[in-house]
Amino acid sequence: MERIFEVVMIGNTAVGKTSMLAALSMELDSYNISGDVSLEPTTHEFRILNNQWTDMGRKIEAQEPFSPLEGGLAGQLDFVEHKFDFKVDGETEARVLFTDTRGGMTGDLDERLIQRVNEAFGVFCVVDASVLMECSDSTNERFNCPKVVKRLLKEVYTDGDDKQPKFVTFVLTKCEKYMATANDRQKLAEKFLTKYDNIVDMLCNVNWPRVYLVAIQTMGCVSFYKLNKEGLPMFRVLPETEFKSKDCAIPLVILLDSLIDEIENSKSIWVIILNLLGIGKNLRDYKERIWNSIEKPSLSERLV
């Protein structure tokens, strides 16, 4: 029987869910070694996403330094599933499904999204760091919708069906400006806790998941520079000398930690078989390869 470990992306329109997923997919190529341990995409949709991400990157690199950033990737459909095979020596040992969601589904508290999250293995909640840091509380509520996210997660974690996700990771995107120094990173983390502490407190008092906060620099070459006339952030392209670290794989490390914990501690027959096959060790090897390749410093904290 095939089991799929699903991770659902939540977050409002234009916070960077699809871009984060595309950036993560581009990172995977450098960790996959032929004939060894790998996590390989298997869906046609993901190849399309990779092509879109590559094209966008070329356009950004062609822009003049400090010129305004143009365009981005937009998620269009309610659910877009991207399946990966976890392989050892070319043989599939487990499957991971990243489910991208249309931003309006989170903002509208769509019942289909609640059901999907309830049955998932984990959740990536994507937050626009530039709005979080630069904008008013009302704009942050309209754009990142923390109150709606809290209601969504409360629905999931208090329904009593014991299918709750094993982890929730808050992923801060568009944060290049706020990652330059340790002091900047601390301010970013503190601002998140100021705006989202009610969610963290709620998750501490339910059938608890592991809760993480990470910040990723999806492009590594763009930065906030001003608010437009509507009070929303605008970005500019940085010169190559100011490129920041590549840390898009940190959410993947959290996922792998959760998979390892599930395989090594679960009492279900299916997972016991996986453990006997040694998949936990293979996942650990793959996780260590990724973690050792991430450029430091980065922002990654376990909150619960």
Closest CA to 225 of 77, 67, 81: 67
**If you write DSSP's letter for every residue of 71-133 in order, what string do you get?**
------SSEEEEEEEEEETTEEEEEEEEEEE-HHHHHTT-HHHHHHHHT-SEEEEEEEHHHHH
Pairing of strands 37-41, 299-302: unpaired
Contact predicate 176/268, CB 8 Å:
no
The residue type of 275 is N
Residue 134, both tokens? 């630069």
Q: What's the whole-model pTM score?
A: 0.90
Contact predicate 279/95, CB 8 Å:
no
- Measured CA to CA, the distance from residue 206 to residue 194 in angstroms comes to 20
- 168 C-beta neighbours (distance < 10 Å), count: 28
CATH code assigned to 4-302: 3.40.50.300
Closest CA to 126 of 201, 185, 192, 182: 192
- Measured CA to CA, the distance from residue 123 to residue 283 in angstroms comes to 19
Residue 63, helix vs strand vs coil: coil
- Measured CA to CA, the distance from residue 198 to residue 291 in angstroms comes to 30
Closest CA to 78 of 56, 51, 111, 53: 111
Q: What is the dihedral of CA 6, 10, 14, 19, to 10 degrees?
A: -30
**pLDDT mean by block of 10 residues, the chain; 304 residues:** 83 88 78 75 79 80 78 74 85 87 89 93 95 94 94 87 87 89 93 94 85 87 85 81 68 90 71 64 86 81 91
Contact predicate 188/175, CB 8 Å:
yes
Residue 11, helix vs strand vs coil: coil
> Cα 233–238–244 angle (5° rounding)?
95
